[in-house]
Amino acid sequence: MKILVINAGSSSLKYQLIDMANKKVLAKGNCERIGIGGGKLSYKNFAGQSYEYNIDMPNHTVAFNNVKNALISGDEAVINSLSEITAIGHRVVQGGALFKHSVLVDEEVINGIESLNDLAPLHNPAHIQGIRAAVEAFGREVPQVAVFDTAFHSTMPPKAYIFGIPYEYYEKYQIRRYGFHGTSHRYVTGKCLELLGREEAPEGTKIITCHLGNGSSIAAVKDGLVVDTTMGLTPLDGFIMGTRSGAIDPSVVTFLAEKENLSPKEMSDLLNKQSGFLGLSGISSDDRDVTAAAKEGNERAILTQDILRYQIIKYIGSYIAAMGGVDAIVFTAGIGENQTSHREEICEGLSFFGVELDKEVNASKRGELAEISTASSKVRVYVIPTDEEIVIAEDTAALVKSLIE
Ligand code: AMP
């Protein structure tokens, strides 16, 4: 069975074709600048060959048609016929309280995703465009599945997801913590439970998963189920990220809006696109640039790193308290998998809890699965490379099988 995994943005379409027989990625690529001119399709096949074409793509349907061609045409083909694609799995950012699991897409599901547009105005409308374009390009006979970033967090108790504002706004607008990166947290939780030998018996386990990338979030996972997470109504909450502020005193928003005469949209841009590493360091949203500047003694880069590590330590500490302990801490995503000095400083700050890092092992592990704690550490610390696409493909395959059986 071959599954096409899709992540559709408003002007982009990322895809992976995965062979479920051996979980091999046959091809992965990206359509950029859809609908805004100057389009580009770039992709790699399983042998590692890269291709790049400038193609104007006025809409997502045209983008899908280019993806189809790339998969079956000429020397670059990775499959003989499109009929080899059994189903399509879509990443959907916001599932709200409606979608607690992945689902087969039908008109009712599309309407459900659409009803959550207000909660994810940048993402959900684009996902619907992607789903509709996939139906147009591949036909109704190819089943489609939606996999939600929020779903893994749906086990949080109300005390973790209700905000301290008048309750009527929760009832009226569903304003609450939802959490994001759920597919990544779910994948690394599964791997961590395997490493702990507890995949069949997660009851009693306490794991903290740190997805540290351009966007970042941490989840507290008890008995294999999320009990709290840092992102909230939107991915803005939590700690500093590439361009997002993370949690701040809410009064800063009203204070700044008044002083700078900012509209809600301008305020949202400031907090989502101009803050975090970029706004603090004045250098870059990319942690590699900030790290390089910090090494050269740039004070604001050093401050940015200090804030990041301090905030992460505080969240992990609070989740240890919330769960009454911790068995394992997992680092994943671009920064978590690769940035060894952040891992070292964060673990140092958690030594009170019995976290003991093997500094040599830690310094040598980038982008690979590894245990980086010492044998005597009370808490296991792992680096686990994330793989959201395989989770989407597996959920899609499982739901499609249920359709056939
Ligand atoms: P992601 O959103 O998961 O792609 O992560 C992006 C972040 O990871 C950026 O801040 C990068 O600086 C960081 N990152 C990615 N690869 C590396 C690497 N090899 N070494 C250090 N940081 C990295």
Residue 236 pLDDT greater than 90, yes or no: yes
Question: Ligand 1 pocket, 334 CB below 6 A?
Answer: yes
Q: Which pairs with CB-CB distance under 8 Å and at least 24 residues apart come from 67-73? A: 67/13, 67/15, 67/29, 67/31, 67/41, 67/137, 68/137, 68/138, 70/27, 70/29, 70/41, 70/43, 71/17, 71/27
What is the rounded CA–CA span in Å between residue 277 and residue 161? 27
Average pLDDT over residues 14-43: 95
Residue pair 267/236 in contact by the 8 Å Cβ criterion: no
- CA nearest 287: which of 337, 229, 360? 337
Q: Check residue 404 and give its pLDDT.
A: 74
Structural domains in the chain plus CATH codes: 2-148 (3.30.420.40), 198-388 (3.30.420.40)
With cut-offs at 50, 70 and 90, classify the pLDDT of residue 46: confident
Asked if residue 402 has pLDDT above 90, the reply is no
How many separate helices (H) and strands (E) can be counted in the chain? 15, 14
- pLDDT at position 148 is 98
Query: Nearest C-alpha to atom 16 of ligand 1 is from which residue?
Result: 334
Q: What are phi and psi of 22, to 5 degrees?
A: -130, 10
- Ligand 1 atom nearest 215 alpha carbon: 2
207-234 average pLDDT score: 98
The candidate with the shortest Cα–Cα distance to 400, out of 192, 104, 110, 189, is 104
Contacts of residue 341, defined as CB under 8 A and 6 or more positions apart, other chains included, come to: 291
pLDDT at 122: 86
3-state helix, strand, coil in the chain (%, to 5): 45, 20, 35
Q: What is the pLDDT of residue 188?
A: 98
pLDDT over threshold 80, residue 160: yes
Over residues 98-108, mean pLDDT? 97
Q: What is the pLDDT of residue 48?
A: 85
- Reading the block at residue 376, the tokens are 């005597």
Residue with CA closest to ligand 1 atom 4: 334
Q: What is the tens place of the pLDDT at every residue in 180-212?
A: 999 999 999 999 999 999 999 999 999 999 999
Res. 75 pLDDT band, cuts 50 70 90: confident
| Confidence at residue 290, expressed as pLDDT on a 0 to 100 scale | 98
* Residue entry with tokens 């970042």: 216
pLDDT tops 80 at residue 373? yes
Q: Contact 102/62 with Cβ under 8 angstroms?
A: no
CA dihedral (146, 155, 311, 257) positive or negative: positive
Which pLDDT value is given to residue 379? 98
Average pLDDT over residues 314-340: 98
Judged by DSSP in three states, 191 sits in: helix
pLDDT confidence of 309, banded at 50, 70, 90? Answer: very high
Q: How far apart are CA 304 and CA 284, in angstroms?
A: 11
Instruction: Give the pLDDT score at 31.
Output: 96
Which two three-digit tokens encode residue 219?
């989840």
Q: 405 pLDDT exceeds 90?
A: no
Query: What number is the average pLDDT over the span 170-176?
Result: 97
Known catalytic residue at 149: yes
Distance between Cα 338 and ligand 1 center (Å): 7
Of the ranges 41-45, 47-51, 123-127, 153-157, which is most confident?
Answer: 153-157
Choosing from 181, 240, 288 the residue with most ligand 1 atoms within 8 A of its CB, the one to mutate for a pocket test is 288
| Separation of CA 104 and ligand 1 centre (Å) | 33
Q: How confident is the model at residue 107 (pLDDT cuts 50, 70, 90)?
A: very high
Query: Residue range 177-182: average pLDDT?
Result: 98
CB 390, CB 398: distance < 8 Å: no
- Please compute the mean of the pLDDT values over residues 105-117 and round it to a whole number: 96
For residue 23, the CA-to-ligand 1 centroid distance in Å is: 24
274-295 residue pLDDT tens: 999 999 999 999 999 999 999 9
Tell me the average pLDDT across 96-108: 97
Judged on CB neighbours under 10 Å (0-12, 13-18, 19+), 44 is middle
How confident is the prediction for the chain on average, in pLDDT? 96
User: In whole angstroms, what is the distance from residue 307 CA to residue 388 CA?
Assistant: 28
Contact present, 103 and 154 (Cβ < 8 Å): no
**Ligand 1 mutation pick, 338, 364, 383, 388, max ligand atoms within 8 A of CB:** 338
Provide the pLDDT confidence category of residue 73 given band limits of 50, 70 and 90: confident
Amino acid at 65: N
Dist. CA 395–CA 399, nearest whole Å: 6
* pLDDT level of residue 60 (50, 70, 90 thresholds): very high
pLDDT reported for residue 338: 98
Answer yes or no: is pLDDT of 66 > 90: yes
Which residue in this structure is represented by tokens 């992965």?
Answer: 28
- What pLDDT, on the 0 to 100 scale, is given for residue 403? 79
Instruction: Give dist(CA 239, CA 230) in Å, integer.
Output: 8
Supply the pLDDT for residue 352: 97
Q: 214 in ligand 1 pocket by Cβ < 6 Å?
A: yes
Residue 396 CA to ligand 1 center (angstroms) comes to 28
